[in-house]
Amino acid sequence: MVDGRGRGIQENVLLEIAQGRICRCDATPGVDGGVSDFDLSDCMLIPGLIDCHVHLFMSGTADAAVREWQLNALYGRMQAVIEKHLNQQRACGVAAVRDGGDYAGHVLRFQQTRPPGGHPAVTVHTAGRAWRSAGRYGRLIGRPPGTGQNLAQAVMANHEGVDHVKIVNSGLNSLKTYGKETAPQFPLEELRAAVQVAAYQKRRVMVHVNGREPVRQSLAAGCHSIEHGFFMGADNMRRLAESQVFWVPTACTMQGYAKHAAPGSREADIARRNLDHQLEQIRQARALGVKVAVGTDAGTIGVHHGSAVREEIQLLLAAGYHIPEVVQCATQHGAALMGLPRAGVIAPGYRATLLALPGGPQVFPANLATPVWFMIDGQTVFDHRF
């Protein structure tokens, strides 16, 4: 068992679950430790996974026709698409996702009309529609403040029942010019005021942001998480460590682009180099004690809902993370960033959201591809043990 708190691997654990909660968790219970009527021997148990950055309205497919359809479909047809993506998340042992927005607010509408299900549901938090500056990047996931409105006024007037606020504060990480940095989308004071409005509404602010100056400014404004953070530089990494603001590196996006760009093309080469640079930043983050949460940007080309979590975990391991640490990034840190109470950890008093993977840590993270048993809040989601 890896309990999600970033500590060692425990063996021979006896868990007791009642009313959706873990009420007992004994490592090496010994001969009189109790009798288990549910045996997960030969399995690795971790908390249910959390993906802190998804776009539920888009599939990871590279099929241009499908992507175009999803970018224009009306809500009536998107409902099934969102449902399908959540099923994919669930099949991979993902218990909660944090949605980064879509241009039409489809996911918010889905949330608001989602019937209180009889089956255990994946927790969804959504930003609804993101905020961007007029004429700048972000058209697919958001909109600019209205005419005559600044960002804070827009956040104040349009919260629409969203779970958190998403702000786009730089361009897209370039696949044409390696290491290209863009200007922030909003002035610092405007950003700071928007964060204060969100705080007044008890909402956190996730910021899509790449490059040194946009990241510096987003941190100065008090944002709660840095999403992507490509080419943010060492000074920002130190600021992240000091402030303990979360970083969601979404490294697997560059792996996705590298896979789908034409072999030998400039894009493929730059995506690969972007990935290498991001892995170097992740290495620094680990050394400095930056709080990293797993997020995939699922819905981006080559980044598929559910399976992308395994890929991001694999990349964190490649950047030097140890297994208990990477599990923590995908569970406890995700729960903390999403503000999920009593989640992301296997310990007494916590929600019984548990994922069993075949084999031990020696086959992790490959075994994430074939989870054998999954429980959310004490309810079995699937059981493939036999």
* Residues within the interface to Zn ion (CB under 5 A): 100, 297
Provide, rounded to whole angstroms, the least separation between the CB of residue 141 and Zn ion.
6
Shortest CA distance to 191 belongs to which of 163, 220, 211?
A: 220
Residue nearer to Zn ion on the CB measure, 46 or 329:
329
Under 8 Å between Cβ of 292 and 285: yes
Residue nearer to Zn ion on the CB measure, 54 or 95:
54
Provide, rounded to whole angstroms, the least separation between the CB of residue 339 and Zn ion.
19
Residue nearer to Zn ion on the CB measure, 56 or 121:
56
Distance CA 272, CA 261 (A): 10
Distances in Å between the Cα of 18 and the Cα atoms of 24, 44, 51, 347, 378 are 9, 21, 26, 13, 7
Provide, rounded to whole angstroms, the least separation between the CB of residue 53 and Zn ion.
6
Distance CA 198, CA 236 (A): 23
Provide, rounded to whole angstroms, the least separation between the CB of residue 301 and Zn ion.
12
Distance CA 44, CA 356 (A): 5
Residue nearer to Zn ion on the CB measure, 120 or 142:
142
Under 8 Å between Cβ of 332 and 5: yes
Residue nearer to Zn ion on the CB measure, 46 or 52:
52
Residue with tokens 């600044």: 150
Q: What is the residue type of 269? A: D
Residue nearer to Zn ion on the CB measure, 101 or 144:
101
Provide, rounded to whole angstroms, the least separation between the CB of residue 96 and Zn ion.
16
Residue nearer to Zn ion on the CB measure, 47 or 171:
171
Provide, rounded to whole angstroms, the least separation between the CB of residue 174 and Zn ion.
16
Shortest CA distance to 141 belongs to which of 82, 100, 183?
A: 100
The closest residue (CB) to Zn ion is 100
Q: Phi then psi for 330, rounded to 5 degrees? A: -95, 0
Sign of CA dihedral 58, 87, 25, 327: negative
Q: Which residues contact 108 (CB under 8 A, 6 or more apart)?
A: 126, 128, 129, 160, 161, 162
Residue nearer to Zn ion on the CB measure, 100 or 256:
100
Distance CA 151, CA 217 (A): 15
Residue nearer to Zn ion on the CB measure, 138 or 344:
138
Provide, rounded to whole angstroms, the least separation between the CB of residue 295 and Zn ion.
8
CA 167, 122, 8: angle at the middle one, nearest 5? Answer: 90
Provide, rounded to whole angstroms, the least separation between the CB of residue 298 and Zn ion.
9
Provide, rounded to whole angstroms, the least separation between the CB of residue 345 and Zn ion.
26
Residue nearer to Zn ion on the CB measure, 100 or 249:
100
Q: Which residues contact 212 (CB under 8 A, 6 or more apart)?
A: 181, 231, 232, 233, 235, 236
DSSP bridge pairs for 45: 356
Provide, rounded to whole angstroms, the least separation between the CB of residue 290 and Zn ion.
20
Distance CA 40, CA 372 (A): 9
